[in-house]
Amino acid sequence: MALFVNDSTHHAIDRLCAKYFAVPTQSHHGRNVMIALLKTIDVWVQRILRYIAMTMFSALAILLIANISLRLINDLIQFLNGQGLEGVATAIQSVVTINSFYWFDEVIELCFAALVFYGAAGLWCSKQHFSVGDWISPRIKNENLKQFYKLVIVLISAIFMAILFWYSLKLTLKTNQVTTAFQIKQWILYSCVPISSLIMLIYSIVDIIVESKKFFQEPVQP
């Protein structure tokens, strides 16, 4: 999964700092420090999300391969026992211990949830997510209308992320149950939803500010 830092995010940071952290010409150092700090935070947020997604994907792959391999070995041992080759079956069992993955479902649930939501947040931050409505924008000839359309899209996205964050946070805080195998708090499994939605909400708010500035202060005539 390729989650790379998108230059458009850095350009948005530049425009935001120029507008809201403007300083006199002789004191540009303060603004440059702010821009550099925000860019560094942006890079590290996306890098952490990328590493989490890659780690969870690798863990899922390893667990699935191990689970399938052990099942095949178990079937082989049963087949050998049925053919009267108990000695060979015992030798295989002495090398490969067949244990029940009683904790398998819990770990898979944790890894899969983290992969989906943190991966989605990483794609959202780097603007590499799939856009269903992207075919509409190129067909809008009026530049002002096109900019308004983009503003509406980011507004809807931000509203959705705010709703997702609020209700997922409530669900996470209300959860007091623990998992069966490891006795892990269920809120730990659910925490990836409010955390990832909060990250996407923050980036959506930045997009709203940038697109609003373009629409209201930089009108383009058709």
Which has the closest alpha carbon to 90: 82, 80, 103?
80
- What's 218's DSSP letter? S
Token digits of residue 74 = 């178990």
- What's 185's DSSP letter? B
Distance CA 184, CA 195 (A): 18
When mean pLDDT is compared across 14-28, 73-87, 181-195, the lowest value belongs to 14-28
By CB atoms closer than 10 A (0-12, 13-18, 19+), residue 70 is middle
- pLDDT surpasses 60 at 209: yes
Token digits of residue 46 = 């996306």
Contact call for residues 50 and 38 (beta carbons, < 8 A): no
Report residue 99's pLDDT band, with 50, 70 and 90 as the boundaries.
low
Across 147-169, average pLDDT: 91
What are the backbone angles phi and psi of residue 184, rounded to the nearest 5°? -85, 140
Give the residue extent of every domain in the chain. 7-217
Q: How many alpha carbons fall within 13 Å on the CB side of residue 7?
A: 0
* Span 46-75, pLDDT tens digits: 889 889 999 999 999 998 888 787 778 777
Residue with the bigger pLDDT between 138 and 174: it is 174
